[in-house]
Each structure stands twice: as C-alpha cells, then as structure tokens.
Amino acid sequence: MYRSHTCGELRASHINNEVTLSGWVQKSRDKGFIVWVDLRDRYGITQLVFDEERTPKAMMEMAQKLGREFVIQVTGTVIERASKNPNIQTGDIEILVSEMTILNEALLPPFTIEDKTDGGEDIRMKYRYLDIRRNPVKNSLIFRHKVTQEVRNYLSKEGFIEVETPYLIKSTPEGARDFVVPSRMNEGQFYALPQSPQTFKQLLMVGGMDKYFQIVKCFRDEDLRADRQPEFTQIDCEMAFVEQEDILNAFEGLTRHLLKEVNGVEVKEFPRMLYDDAMRLYGNDKPDIRFGMQFGELNEVAQHKDFEAFNNAELVVGIAVPGGNAYTRKEIDQLIDWVRRPQVGALGMVYSRCNDDGSYKSSVDKFYDQDDLAKWAEKTGAKAGDLVCVLSGDKNKVRAQLSALRMELAERLGLRNPNEFAPLWVMDFPLLEWDEDTERYHAMHHPFTSPKPGQLEMLETNPGDVKANAYDLVLNGNEIGGGSIRIHDKKTQALMFDYLGFTKEEAQAQFGFLMNAFEYGAPPHGGLAFGLDRLVAILGGQETIRDFIAFPKNNAGRDVMIDAPAPIDNKQLEELSLKLNLKS
C-alpha cells in the first residue's frame, strides 16, 4: 500500500494516527536540527517533519538531500502543528516521519511548480506534464471534468442518447480545410478527420434515435487565430420532430443547469437579438451585453459638412464611453494609436467631450458646431461626463474596428466582470454569404442549414437576403454554441447545393449518402453544438482555452512537448504510396 490517506485529507481529528502518504516534494526547509518538507499530491499538501531528537540519523541525512519533485513515500504519526497554517486544509497538523522511501529522484524542474510560476508559456508547454502539477492547471482540468459530467447527466436525464460517430470520414469541400489521412489499404485514397459530426447526426435522426448527443473531438486545418486549436471538443446535439423554439428551450435549460450547478448563478432571461441588429448595434455577431456602449450611426448628423473623411465614408458610427471625459489628451491619443494598430486597422478616431456644463469640445470643432455635437451625443446616448468616440469608413470594416474598441474600453473600465453571466441568442443569420475570390455564394454555416420558413423562393430572386433558420448562443461576448434547423428533404437539399455552385454530379459524389437517406423518410430535425473548450473557460472565469485543455498546441499548431507534427520515414511513405513535393 503506497498510501493510507491523500495529502489533502488529514485533519486534527487524525492526531496520533499512524498514516502512510506518497507524493512529490513541493519544497523543503532545512534548519540543521530540523527539516520540514511539504509533500504534494493532487489533493493537497501535508507538512512532514524530521528532527534530530526523534528521527534516526540516516533518515535525517536522507531528508536533507531531498530535492524538489522527488517522489517519496513516508509513514509516520499525525501530530499537532506548532505553527498552524490557515491557508491550507491540512494546516493544523504535520507528520512526524518514522519511515521514508525515495520512490523516484527528479531533476530540478525548468520552472517552479507554484501557483505563480517563473515559467513562460513556451517552456510550460514543452514540459506540460510538469505544468499540470500546478494548481491553476490542475484545477482547470478538474473543473472541465465537472462541467462535462454535468452535461452528460443533464442530457441523459432529458432523454438524449450518447452515440459515437467515426473519426475517419470523407473529405468535404465546404468550410475550413480538412486534415486528411492516407489509406494504406486503399491506394491513392484518403480519409478526412471530421470538422464536426454534422452529417452523421442527421443520419442518426433518419435512423430514429430522436435525441442524440456526443462529446466529440473535431478537427480543422486553419490558421490558429483568436485562441483556437486545430483539434477541439464539441458537445454535439441533435433532435428530431422539433422546431427552432424546441431547441432554444432545450439548450437554455442545459445552460441554466450548468450556471447553477457549476457557478451557483441563477439566470432567468435569455434575450434574443436578430443578427442584423447585433451587427448594427455592436459590430459583431456575438455581442457582450454585460455593459452598454451601443453603436450610434451618425451619417445623418455628421456628413454633408466640410469634413471629407466623414463625407467619403460608407458609415460614420460612434459609441459613448461612460466617464470618458475624464481622459487626458494623452490617454485619448493612446486610444487613437490603439485603433490604428494593424490588428484593428482604423485610419484614425474622432472624439467629442461631453462637458458637465452641457457644452461639447471635439477634435473636429473646425467643422462641427455645438448643435452638431449635441446630435452626436443624442445618437450615441452620451451624457455629461462621457466621451464620444467616432470611426468612419467601409461599413463592415468600421463596425469590426469599433467593436474591437468597445471591447478594449470595457476591459479598461472593468465592465467585463467574469463572475457575471449574460447569455444571448443571436438569430436569423444570412443563409448565404458572397465570396469575392470565387465569385459565388457560400453557406454561412453549412450546406444543410434550412432557410427561414417561406423564404426558399427568394433564393431565385434575392439569395443574399435569405435568412437561415439558424441561431447562436452567446455568453459574455463569446459564441459558446450554434446550430440550425436542418433541411430534411432531398429536393430542397439538391436546390441548396445548386445555389452553392455544386453540379449534380459533385453533390452526389460528396453527399449522395445523405441525400439517399432522405428518400427513406427523414424527420424534421435540428440541433446545436456547444464549443466545450470555450464554454468551460468562460464558466471558469477566463477566455483563454489552453489551460482547460490537458495537452494544447501552440499558435503554429505544434505540440512542442512531443514535437508534432513530425516527418515520417521513407518506408512509411512507400507503404502509403506517397511522395513528398516540398517547397524549398
């Protein structure tokens, strides 16, 4: 028996008991006549004590040679700690060691295994197995487990059946690039790793499973911007004989359950917002509604003066920064420099101070009088003491730029409280989006998304105006889930492929298995997939997903711990009938 108790288990009630513990040496303090050692395992820390009066000389010398992260086993008696430590659960006791075995020596770790470490991200990713010993990472993984178990329990109680779907599937041309896997037994042919189990969950509905879920790995070979990973985990769900309202109610229920059980937070309202309104008021389709600063469009009140930057812009738009009139000129200049960064891309920023006496002072007073600036304040909802920040330019670009500024200002103003949760449904996305490079429409979500009822005919006349029967669930400015009502009949699906530029032969080659299945009685169905990594991070009060993934990859998609991806030898290439054609 390596241990009778864990290192986080012993209390004053165990005093005088003989116990056996095993774990890692967190640190030791050698005073010559006495040695204290902190022993750590997943459950906590227990202090060990060796002293020259009660400890045999050979064991005392062994204790003095213990290094950080040595793995040891000790047996001893629980005694009352003379100097108690209220910061740890075992702080009332310590172990007077009578026996000790060094199970494994350890090299000095490349960074300190402490809550606040001296290791940078790169070195911690290389030695991730050491990083996991640190409480922040360990507790994040335990937290992920708790969320995952709550998801499984809730969905199972609601009648969902967990079904595993294949990882080796067929490559499809829509969406991000596939990761492909060569098949040795089928020379010259390839599997693809799934970007999602989309077609399989639809086939499960055709198969009559009625309510399906799966916590599943998905893969996308795309640039890893915005804290993404090439492999990620979804809570994938599908339901048959449902309309949009049924799905929204089902997954509001799951989200409420998680917030209550995991965070102790009761959330009653899940507001709904149209996609067009989200873009108009917040500049993006996943707005953070924990704070205000809605956009005010200023074309009517800012154009047709002599300020050409506004006159030549497709959109002039501003936000009111609460209390922003207190900013110094230097602080405002820093904001202007911030929006000019390449990551944001604005050419500049105009501002107007809303003074306490009701007057206004702007950076463009030469072109606009007090009445004009009062209209800016009215359009943006600015009050005395606020600052109006204005950007202009191409409609889509300037909305994205102002959205980035809004989030940055909210961060600086402390308006993004991680312990406050504001869910939001964003509805009625465009069904299609125009791609300038290919000069054709692409599905904004995927080719199996149904148009809103009554809008199918518009595909022939105004395809860009057709709305999808699709919805995203947003939490604190992050998309945590998205889904749609699916197309469930072959005729409509074929029409959709036609509008997406597929020939009949291409559609049959890529998706014939699904269209054939629809001929055997497909029920109306729809679903939603949560991004588990992002959901767990937000519930955990963070927005960085890496600490909630056991072995994440870096921004280049590399696992620096195992050094992957890596070349394979020529023998493997020959077995797979592959030949490399590397660019120099």
Please indicate if the annotation marks 164 as binding a ligand: no
Average pLDDT of span 250-264: 98
Does the pLDDT at position 111 exceed 70?
yes
**Which residues does 481 contact at the CB level (< 8 Å), separation at least 6?**
235, 251, 472, 473, 528, 529, 530, 531, 535
Check the annotation: does 357 bind a ligand. Answer: no
How far apart are the C-alpha atoms of 352 and 369, rounded to whole Å?
Answer: 11
Give the count of beta carbons closer than 10 Å to the beta carbon of residue 434. 12
Token pair in block for residue 481:
């889930």
> pLDDT at position 498, please?
85
Q: What single-letter amino acid sits at 582?
A: L
Report whether pLDDT(497) > 90. Answer: no
State the pTM of this model.
0.93
Q: Where are the beta strands (DSSP E) in 187-277?
A: 190-192, 211-219, 231-240, 272-274
Say if residue 118 carries a ligand binding annotation: no
Average pLDDT over the chain reads 95
User: Residue 158, annotated ligand binder?
Assistant: no
* Cβ-contact 410, 402 below 8 angstroms: no
Burial (Cβ within 10 Å: 0-12, 13-18, ≥19) of residue 461:
exposed
Confidence check: pLDDT of 536 > 80? yes
* 531 appears as a binding residue in the annotation: yes
Confidence bin at 480 (pLDDT 50/70/90): very high
Looking at the DSSP bridge assignments, the partners of residue 233 are: 217
| pLDDT (0 to 100) of residue 584 | 65
Q: How confident is the model at residue 174 (pLDDT cuts 50, 70, 90)?
A: low
What would the two tokens of residue 371 be? Answer: 């009445």
- Predicted confidence at residue 202, as pLDDT, reads 96
- Residue 46 main-chain phi, psi, to 5 deg: -125, 135
pLDDT band at 173 (very low <50, low <70, confident <90, very high): low
pLDDT at position 224 over 80: no
The residue-averaged pLDDT of 258-265 equals 97
pLDDT tens by residue, 23-80: 999 999 999 999 999 999 999 999 999 999 999 999 999 999 999 999 999 999 999 9
Asked whether residue 222 is marked as a ligand-binding residue, the answer is: yes
Round to whole Å and give the CA distance between 170 and 269: 41
What domains are there in the chain, each with its CATH number? 12-104 (2.40.50.140), 138-161+194-272+423-545 (3.30.930.10), 291-413 (3.30.1360.30)
Q: Kindly indicate the confidence band of residue 457, based on its pLDDT and cuts at 50, 70 and 90.
A: confident
- The verdict on whether residue 257 carries a ligand-binding annotation is no
Alpha-carbon distances of 446 from 212, 305, 348, 426, 530, rounded to whole Å = 19, 45, 37, 17, 16
Task: Consult the annotation and say whether 184 binds a ligand.
Answer: no
Give the burial string for 500-529 (b: 16+ CB within 10 Å, else e).
bebeeeebeebbeebbebbeeebebbbbbb
Q: Binding site annotation covers 189?
A: no
**How large is the average pLDDT for residues 363-386?**
97
Question: No. of H helices and E strands in the chain?
Answer: 17, 22
Tell whether the model's pLDDT for residue 578 goes beyond 90.
Answer: yes
pLDDT tier for residue 461 given thresholds of 50, 70 and 90: confident
Q: How confident is the model at residue 92 (pLDDT cuts 50, 70, 90)?
A: very high
What is the SS3 assignment for 393? Answer: strand
Q: Taking residues 142-164, what's their average pLDDT?
A: 98
**pLDDT category of residue 318 using cuts at 50, 70 and 90:** very high
Q: Using alpha carbons, list the distances in angstroms from residue 105 to 73, 102, 435.
A: 12, 7, 59
Token reading at 203:
């086939």
User: Cα–Cα distance between 222 and 232 in angstroms, integer?
Assistant: 12
pLDDT given at position 456: 83
Residue 483 annotated as part of some ligand binding site? no
Residue 472: what pLDDT? 97
φ and ψ at residue 57, rounded to 5 degrees: -60, -45
Nearest-angstrom CA–CA distance, 381 and 16: 69
The answer on whether 220 is annotated among ligand-binding residues is yes
Among the ranges given (128-132, 232-236, 446-450), the one the predictor scored with the smallest mean pLDDT: 446-450
Q: Are strands 161-162 and 211-219 parallel, antiparallel or unpaired?
A: parallel
> With bands split at pLDDT 50, 70 and 90, how would you rate the model's confidence at 506?
confident
Q: Is 445 annotated for ligand binding? A: yes
For the chain, the maximum distance between any two Cα atoms, rounded to a whole number of angstroms, is 93
